[in-house]
């Protein structure tokens, strides 16, 4: 193939090798390998010289060779249920973990695993054997699947679980206090003057969904408000299920003056349902969600919600896997925050 400008063959830039880096930095190949693998036996000056050479040459180490040299993998696995309910939540976790992996020089492998799979142990053994994962992050409801957790333990793979129901001493758990967070939102709505508060729960096979239901009921009980079965509707963390649950709540004879949905997707579904009944938010109906998804700030009115620190949770998960994977540290509980926006207000006198 010729260069159309002068008829000469084009020049292709050859990818830099570890030998090129060693030559540029005037060090041995072994020293370059130690710097790439972040090993401590290199002086600060030498490390800086190697890193400068790597940047100048745009050197990218071969991950397979890197793993063989250090006797460990540089790949983290993220296991999600298939199909993953609450995909917005899972997507945020995935992006946050991917960002952390790139920062640490690791690669992320995402695997969908059916929680109902009877051969889950064999599937996990095959995955770990093929990829030699340095660690695995489990999202709900896989976090509470004993067969999956035990299968990973059997392969000596470090585990981080997001939002499990109960913590274990030999795995790493990252979560917020879902019960307290739901209690705080419900108490906030009660503080505004709402007595008729509807609730849309998540799938009960998710520990976080059960915890949020518990927090909602606890706040009602403490305020002396009776919990009504018709005010508590099922959902599956999707926009559609929020619309359906919203329809049921808004067609009750004494409909709620406020609805708390246990994730933002369902809360947005409730807000869509309210349009069918010409209900103004928040004048006629207050709506609160959970998670603080990106769209919670972009929609109108902006959604009152509970912020989960997904970025900090992902950072804690990956950092712990990489630096403490062989020494599990138990439960890492991060703080939540109630974000008050325009979708909630005091109930109108006509509604009370």
Is residue 185, in this structure, part of any structural domain at all? Answer: yes
pLDDT of residue 327: 53
Cα distances from 264 to residues 36, 200, 345, in angstroms, run 41, 11, 18
Contact 344, 192 (CB under 8 A): yes
Is residue 286, in this structure, part of any structural domain at all? Answer: yes
Each residue of 1-21: pLDDT tens digit?
Answer: 444 444 444 444 567 777 888
Q: Are residues 320 and 171 in the same domain?
A: yes
Q: Are residues 86 and 105 in the same domain?
A: yes
Q: Are residues 225 and 240 in the same domain?
A: yes
Is the pTM of the predicted complex or chain greater than 0.95?
Answer: no
Is residue 5, in this structure, part of any structural domain at all? Answer: no
Contact 293, 264 (CB under 8 A): yes
User: What is the helix, strand, coil percentage profile of the chain, to 5?
Assistant: 45, 15, 40
Q: For 131-139, what is the mean pLDDT?
A: 84
Q: Are residues 162 and 200 in the same domain?
A: no
Is residue 128, in this structure, part of any structural domain at all? Answer: yes
Q: Are residues 182 and 289 in the same domain?
A: yes
Is residue 342, in this structure, part of any structural domain at all? Answer: no
Each residue of 297-350: pLDDT tens digit?
Answer: 999 999 999 999 988 888 888 888 877 655 556 778 899 999 999 999 999 877
Q: Are residues 146 and 192 in the same domain?
A: no
- 62 band by pLDDT with thresholds 50, 70 and 90: low
Of the three residues 10, 39, 70, the one that is the final residue of a domain is: 70
Q: Are residues 95 and 55 in the same domain?
A: no
Is residue 232, in this structure, part of any structural domain at all? Answer: yes
Each residue of 187-228: pLDDT tens digit?
Answer: 999 999 999 999 999 998 888 999 999 999 999 999 999 999
Q: Which helix (H) or strand (E) holds 216?
A: helix 207-222
Q: Are residues 51 and 40 in the same domain?
A: yes
Is residue 274, in this structure, part of any structural domain at all? Answer: yes
Structural domain containing residue 44: 18-70
Is residue 226, in this structure, part of any structural domain at all? Answer: yes
Q: Are residues 130 and 226 in the same domain?
A: no
- How many domains would you assign to the chain? 3
Q: Are residues 87 and 38 in the same domain?
A: no
Q: SS3 for 200?
A: strand
pLDDT of residue 328: 53
Q: Are residues 172 and 184 in the same domain?
A: no
Q: What is the CATH number of the domain that holds 135?
A: 3.40.50.2300
Q: Are residues 288 and 191 in the same domain?
A: yes
């Amino acid at each position: 193939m010729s260069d159309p400008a002068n008829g000469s063959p084009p020049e292709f830039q050859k990818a830099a090798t570890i030998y090129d880096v060693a030559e540029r930095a005037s060090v041995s190949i072994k020293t370059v390998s130690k710097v790439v693998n972040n090993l401590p036996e290199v002086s600060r000056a030498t490390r800086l010289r190697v890193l400068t050479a790597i940047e100048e040459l745009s050197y990218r180490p071969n991950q397979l060779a890197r793993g063989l040299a250090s006797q460990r993998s540089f790949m983290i696995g993220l296991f999600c249920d298939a199909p993953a309910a609450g995909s917005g939540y899972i997507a945020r976790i995935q992006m946050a973990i991917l960002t952390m992996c790139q920062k640490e020089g690791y690669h992320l492998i995402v695997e969908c695993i059916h929680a109902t799979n009877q051969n889950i142990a064999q599937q996990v053994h095959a995955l770990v054997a093929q990829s030699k994962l340095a660690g695995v992050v489990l999202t709900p409801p896989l976090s509470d699947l004993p067969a999956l957790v035990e299968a990973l333990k059997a392969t000596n793979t470090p585990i981080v679980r997001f939002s499990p129901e109960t913590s274990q001493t030999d795995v790493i758990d990252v979560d917020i206090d879902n019960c307290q967070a739901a209690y705080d939102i419900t108490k906030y709505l009660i503080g505004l003057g709402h007595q008729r508060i509807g609730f849309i729960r998540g799938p009960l096979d998710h520990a976080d969904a059960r915890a949020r239901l518990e927090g909602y009921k606890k706040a009602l009980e403490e305020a002396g408000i009776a919990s009504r079965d018709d005010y508590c509707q099922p959902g599956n963390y999707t926009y559609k299920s929020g619309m359906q649950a919203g329809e049921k709540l808004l067609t009750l004879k004494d409909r709620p003056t406020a609805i708390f949905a246990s994730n933002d997707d369902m809360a947005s579904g409730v807000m869509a349902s309210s349009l069918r009944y010409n209900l103004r938010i928040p004048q006629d109906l207050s709506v609160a969600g959970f998670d603080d998804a990106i769209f919670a700030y972009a929609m109108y009115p902006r959604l009152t919600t509970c912020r989960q620190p997904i970025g900090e949770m992902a950072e804690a998960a990956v950092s712990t896997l990489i630096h403490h994977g062989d020494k599990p540290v138990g439960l890492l509980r991060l703080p939540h925050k109630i974000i008050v926006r325009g979708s909630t207000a005091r109930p109108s006198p006509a509604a009370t």
